[in-house]
Amino acid sequence: MLIYQNIKYMLNIVIFGAPGSGKGTQSAKLIEQYGLKHVSTGDLLRAEIKANSPLGQMAESYMSKGQLVPDEIVIGMLDELIKKNSDVEGFIFDGFPRTLEQGKALDEMLEKNGQSISLVLSLEVKDEELVERLLKRGEISGRSDDNRETIESRLKVYYDQTAPLKEFYRRQGKLHEIYGEGSIDDIFAAMEKVIDSFAQ
């Protein structure tokens, strides 16, 4: 947690990365190193539905029909989560925001809670490398969705959705592109360097 003029600021990080970029691996290392709370909207939705909370009931009414849960419900869940965890060092947002609208809504919600996104880390990996990694993962795990056609379709969706979002954070001066190829430790060291220089 950063303290400036007696005001406590959380270290709130958004991590971007195309499928196969190693986002999950690096998120786990960041959580361990900086004591951040991991925020996965998928986990959050499942937990709220299991708890049968009002927001969980609303989310389930959409999911049971195969529809996407509206952004305002997801933002409402994130708002509750942040209020309940005011003592943590900060949050790492993994897989959210995915669209420009979500990015704007997240900023507004954090501002109401006296917080903001500190940094956005984007793992940059060449498409050929991503495809190879995912095909290899498919061979090992037997996941039927890790085939070339599906992978290329998922990458297109990722780029279409995140390109405007990356530009949104670039304009705020928060976007840091990290070279996502090489050893896990080398990639993590590059992320650490960015975070540590911000936190000084």
Catalytic residues: 23, 98, 137, 143, 154
Q: How far apart, in whole angstroms, are the C-alpha atoms of residue 122 and residue 179? A: 8
Q: Retrieve residue 18's tokens.
A: 């195309």
Name the β-bridge partners of 3: 8
d(CA 133, CA 22): 10
Distance, in Å, from the CA atom of 87 to the CA atom of 66, rounded to the nearest integer, reads 36
How far apart, in whole angstroms, are the C-alpha atoms of residue 60 and residue 70? Answer: 11
The HSE-up count of residue 148 (CA atoms within 13 Å, CB side) is 2
CB 169 within 8 A of CB 148: no
Residues 6+ apart with CB under 8 A from 18: 123, 125, 130, 155, 158, 159
| 3 state DSSP class of 179 | strand
* 41 vs 171: CA distance, rounded Å: 25
